[in-house]
Structure formats: C-alpha cells, structure tokens
Amino acid sequence: MLRILSRSTSRGIVRVTQCTSTAMTQPPPGKMFSLQASLPRLPVPPLEQTLNKYLKSVRPLLSDEEFKTTEQIVQDFSRNPGPKLQKLLEYKANQEENWLSDWWMKTAYLEFRSPVPVNVSPGIVFPRQSYRDKEGQLRFASKLIAGVLDFKVMIDTQNLPVEHMGKKPLCMTQYYKILSACRTPGKKCDSWACYPPNESNAPKHIIVAHNNQFFSLDVYGADGRPLSEAQIYRQLKSLVQESAQVATPVGLLTTENRSTWAKAYSELVNDQENSASLRKINHSICLVCLDNNLPQDMSDERSVAAQQMLHGGGDSLNSGNRWFDKTIQFVVGREGISGLTYEHTSAEGPPVVMLLDHVVKYCSENHSPGSDTPAPATPTKLTFNLSKNIKEMIDTARTHLDVLVDDVDLNVFVFKDYGKNFPKSQKMSPDSFLQNAIQLAYYRIHNEPAPHYETGTLRMFHLGRTDTIRSCSEASLEFCKAFVNSNTPKERKVELLRNAVQAHKSYTNEVIQGNGIDRHLLGLKLAAIKNGMNVPDLHMDMAYTLSTHFRMSTSQVPAHSDSVLVFGPVVPDGYGVCYNPQETQVHFGVSAFNITPETNSKNYINMLRNTLLEMRDLFQGSMQSKL
C-alpha cells in the first residue's frame, strides 16, 4: 500500500523541508486507506488542451487587441518551449507519486512569505453556545477537547470511512496531517512536520493557551486512555489559575512575515529552555486557546467571532493567545463563541470540517461522564527566555499585526431565502448557480468581470490537493451584461443564466477529473525555472498576470453544522468569499481589505443578497418554474 509513504525518519517524525511527504509505515488496522492504492495518479493534461482552454478563460478579461497579442504568445509557446516543458512534466509525473504535490506545497505554502493569519489560514466559527462566563468557557473547552480526542480515535485506528465523490473514492491522506502537525519558519522556505499516530513518538499532549501563556497538557492517562471530561476540566482550571497574569505575547511572532519570524525563531532556539518549549508546541496534537473577554460591541456577534477565528482581533484582544504555525488551533471564548483557525499547508477544508462537525455534534450531546484515567500528569507551563532583541521583535510584530487587523474588513451573513433547494428545483447545479451569483454581484458593483478563483478538489487522485475553477467565462460575462441591461427580456436572462451555469458546471467537472489549467500552467513555468530556462513569455504576458490576479477568491465548503467559514482576499483589491450551502440557506463569510476603498464587504453582501433574490425572481411566472 505504501505509495503513501514518502519519507519518514527513524524517530517516526515525518519531516518535510521544502518538499511534501506523508506518513505510514504500518499495515492499516482500519479501512481508511484501503482504497488508497487504487486511486489514479494525477495526469499531466495535454498541452494543446490547456492552451486552448487558457485562451478561452482570458477572453472575457481582455480587449480584442490584447487578446490578439495573447493568442500570438500562446501560439509561439505551443511550438517552443511548450512541448519541451511538457516532456519534463511528463517525466516528473512518471517518477513521482504525484507530480504536483511537492511543488504545490512549496509554491503555495512553504515559500510564501506573507503572514499566515488572514493571508493563508482560514477561520471557522462554530454555532454559538449558551454559556457566557469563564466557568462555562472551561466546561465547554473540556467537552470540546473530549470531542477532538473522540474523533482522533477514528483517525488513529484508520476507521474513518473512505469518502467518495459520486462513486469515486477520494484520497484520505489529509486526515493523517491535520492533527499532530506544525509549520516552522525558514529564511526562504518554511518546513512542515507531522507526527503520525501509528509511530511510537506520536504526541499525547495538547497545548492550551491562556493569557498569552502556553501549557502542555497530557490528554492521555497512564493507561493510555483519554482523560475524562471532568479530568480535563480540572486540568484546565488549574492551568488557568496558574496563568492569571497576561504575559508577553511571544505567540505574536507567529503572525509575522515568515522570513522575519524565521530570524526570531533561529535566535529563540539557541536557548535551551526556549527550544524545549518550541519543541513541545510543534510536537503537540493541537492548540486550544482559552480567550479573554471581548469588550466590543457584540451586535453583529457572528462577524466579531469570525474576526477572532481569522486573526484574534489584534494585540489588544486575543491575537497573542495563538500559535499560528500550529495546524489546528481551537478557540474558545468567554461569550459562548468558539471555532478554529487552521494553517493551510497540510490540508484543504473538508477534512477539517469533518473534524469540526464531529466536535460540534459531540458537544451538543450528553455523554456519560466516563471513568477517570489513572495518574494524569499535571499541566506544565512552557517558559521562554526573551532577550531584549526578541522583545523588540515582538513589539514590531504587534505593530504589523495591528495594521493587518485594521486592514481586514470581514463580515458574515446568512442568506435565508433559499439554499441548494432553489437551483435544484430549476435543475441547475447549486454551486454553479451560486458562483454565477457571486460573479454577478461583483460585476454590478465594479462594472467589469472579476478574475475569479474557485477551489476545485483533486482528491480523486492520489495525494491530490486542488486546482482552480476559473468561474469567469464568456458565458458568465454575457449573462452579467444582459442582467444589468433593462432591455433584456426575462426569458433571455434565464437562458443566459442557464448557459453560464452549464459552462461553470462543465469547467468544474473537467477540473475534478484532472483537466484544469492553472496547476498545469504553474507546472510548465516551474519546469522551466527548475531546468535553468527563462520564465516563458506566456507567463510574463499581461493576460497571465491579470487572469491570475484573483479579485474573487472563493471556496464552497459544505458543513453539516451551522458553521461559518472565512478567509482573507488573496489580492489587495479583491474579496474572499467562503460559503457553506445548506438545503434552505447559505452561510457566507466575506472579506476585503480597507486599503482598497472600492471593495467593501458589507456593500458586497448587500449586492449579493439582492442578486440572489433577483436571480430567483427571474424564474417567477416563467415556463421554467413550472417544470
């Protein structure tokens, strides 16, 4: 089976420095990986196919003149150096388990230098709980930790059922990377390590953050069983008492530009005490952040909660009570607010959502108290020796983070008038319908189409991650233009919407089957660079830059729970739109940056709401609604 296994050290740590890898060394006890060996390998699409699709995708974004230039550039590329680069990619694909994985992990994550909060790590808000004080916070946190450990059993024993898309099984390796994993900063490229559950050194502790202090808490007793909820509660209570004072927020360093953080990190690890504390954090199962009060106006409490999950609200609120390098940090506030933030290097949203849906459900159920495990270890405080230099770096990090936090314009909204039910009743793909609404709302505000990214999954392939669904098409632009033109008859608008929905649906299906263009084009570019060739003209062309400047960065992440998912825009003048579509409603998290006054999340949300309502109105009284 062990195509999954790439590299694993004798101490059982899967270390990835500047490349990707996954872990498994033992035959699986459960069925989670039983279909893994049968998964197809990610193909390299035919060159001509990608180039033709690329031209089609840039057409709605370019003038006739610009398009002509790009056509010429693409044609030249198809003769030289396209075929040569294609051969190099095909060779790589023959040699490796997945030709894209290591390049993607580096390019999208480990080499990316921007701070991880807002720019990389998504946040998720759980449904609000009824407690409102510190006591309730600790009780809920204990339950949440018990819920995480309950889910972890299924991962550890490989008993999660294999997920499917239609009849096709999906790659399950990401489930082995969401817990017990951590990123660490490097000067030019970060590292990532995971401590898989079937190794003898698999971690048995979590880190609890309170008042900017960090504690290591063993969550398994001497008999190897998880602590009971009551035991967890007592442990939390004692560590909270031990950290009554707010400490210097060393965690703020993890919010820095990665190279800046790398500098601080290399100084920190020189000290033995610091190095031991960092190792404990990196090696832990996950973080649980017990936050302090939010003194803000809570009138739009879900948006405030979303900010807490995305960045912690700045130094004056809870950002110092985080360790953003950790793959999963659960956040438990005082006001019944909870959720998580996750560092994205390891995995896409769905495995994390599977975990949180389990935890949310677990927390809503009554569980028998469970017996205590013998001799739980007392939590240990992790200490840091902070030099003058490091303290200055923390001050700078504080300034940088507060600028970032002030720049983020984030709002959530629940569209309650319909969900997937309406497009389904009209025989349209719900996601393609919503994507066209998202594109149209942008068009109505900005009077032009947006280069538009939607995450498409590649998990049908072994070690597959994502490719781009380019949601802006000639058909979607035609629909947008017709929609805003008051002379267009309703029937025509409906017809064009159906075309646009169909175009999106086809593009999505192609992506899912490995026939997307963005990862292929990236691969061709990297093949040139790695082989000492120039970056091809195709990639230097304005059309490439423009069409990958994704003003609309979107992702559909379905959850069973009423959770709201948020992430930041990927460009200064763009929006991030994450949505959780349910049968009769849709949760949206919308972000923008204040530095660009033209993009405003509230304004966008209003337009999106109107657009969704008006798109439904198109069908009222028309033939289609009688179908």
Q: By the criterion CB under 6 A, which residues form the site for ligand HC5?
A: 122, 124, 348-349, 455, 466, 553, 555, 557, 565, 567, 570, 578
Among residues 12, 2, 11, 26, the alpha carbon closest in space to that of 157 is found at: 26
First to last CA, the chain: 49
Do 567 and 589 form a contact (C-beta atoms < 8 A)? yes
Smallest gap from residue 581 Cβ to ligand HC5 (A):
13
Q: Which is nearer to ligand HC5, 570 or 612 (CB)?
A: 570
Do 468 and 516 form a contact (C-beta atoms < 8 A)? yes
Tell me which amino acid residue 184 is: T
As a whole number of angstroms, the distance between CA 600 and CA 622 comes to 34
Smallest gap from residue 367 Cβ to ligand HC5 (A):
26
Burial of 85: CB neighbours in 10 Å, binned 0-12, 13-18, 19+: buried
What's the Cα-to-Cα distance from 222 to each of 5, 219, 235, 372, 617, rounded to whole Å? 31, 10, 15, 11, 63
In sign, the C-alpha dihedral spanning 14, 16, 22, 25 is negative
Q: Which is nearer to ligand HC5, 205 or 452 (CB)?
A: 452
Smallest gap from residue 207 Cβ to ligand HC5 (A):
21
Smallest gap from residue 557 Cβ to ligand HC5 (A):
5
Smallest gap from residue 377 Cβ to ligand HC5 (A):
33
Q: Which is nearer to ligand HC5, 356 or 528 (CB)?
A: 356
DSSP letter for 326, please.
B
Burial of 15: CB neighbours in 10 Å, binned 0-12, 13-18, 19+: middle
Do 264 and 390 form a contact (C-beta atoms < 8 A)? yes
Smallest gap from residue 351 Cβ to ligand HC5 (A):
10
Strands 586-593 and 575-581: antiparallel
DSSP letter for 509, please.
H
Do 287 and 257 form a contact (C-beta atoms < 8 A)? no
Q: Which is nearer to ligand HC5, 76 or 357 (CB)?
A: 357
Smallest gap from residue 284 Cβ to ligand HC5 (A):
21
As a whole number of angstroms, the distance between CA 258 and CA 256 comes to 6
Q: Which is nearer to ligand HC5, 124 or 240 (CB)?
A: 124
Q: In terms of DSSP H, where are the helices of 324-473? A: 349-364, 388-407, 421-425, 430-446
Q: Is 446 one of the annotated active-site residues of the chain? A: no
Q: Which is nearer to ligand HC5, 57 or 231 (CB)?
A: 57
Do 438 and 469 form a contact (C-beta atoms < 8 A)? no
Q: How many helices (H) and strands (E) does the chain have?
A: 20, 19
Smallest gap from residue 109 Cβ to ligand HC5 (A):
9
Q: Which helix (H) or strand (E) holds 590?
A: strand 586-593
Smallest gap from residue 350 Cβ to ligand HC5 (A):
8
Q: Which is nearer to ligand HC5, 349 or 581 (CB)?
A: 349
Q: What are phi and psi of 336, to 5 degrees?
A: 85, 10
CB-nearest residue to ligand HC5: 349
Q: Which is nearer to ligand HC5, 120 or 382 (CB)?
A: 120
Smallest gap from residue 348 Cβ to ligand HC5 (A):
6
b/e burial code for range 16-43 (CB count within 10 A of at least 16 → b): beebbbbbbeeebeeebbebbeebebbe
Q: Which two tokens stand for residue 313?
A: 């609200």
Q: Which is nearer to ligand HC5, 314 or 349 (CB)?
A: 349
Q: Which is nearer to ligand HC5, 277 or 341 (CB)?
A: 341
Q: Which two tokens stand for residue 144?
A: 């949440």
Q: Of these residues, 205, 311, 344, 504, which one is catalytic?
A: 344
As a whole number of angstroms, the distance between CA 205 and CA 214 comes to 12
Q: Which is nearer to ligand HC5, 124 or 440 (CB)?
A: 124
Q: Which two tokens stand for residue 452?
A: 């538009």
Q: Which two tokens stand for residue 620?
A: 């009222």
Smallest gap from residue 499 Cβ to ligand HC5 (A):
25
As a whole number of angstroms, the distance between CA 459 and CA 513 comes to 10
Among residues 464, 467, 462, 451, the alpha carbon closest in space to that of 515 is found at: 467
Annotated catalytic residues are: 344
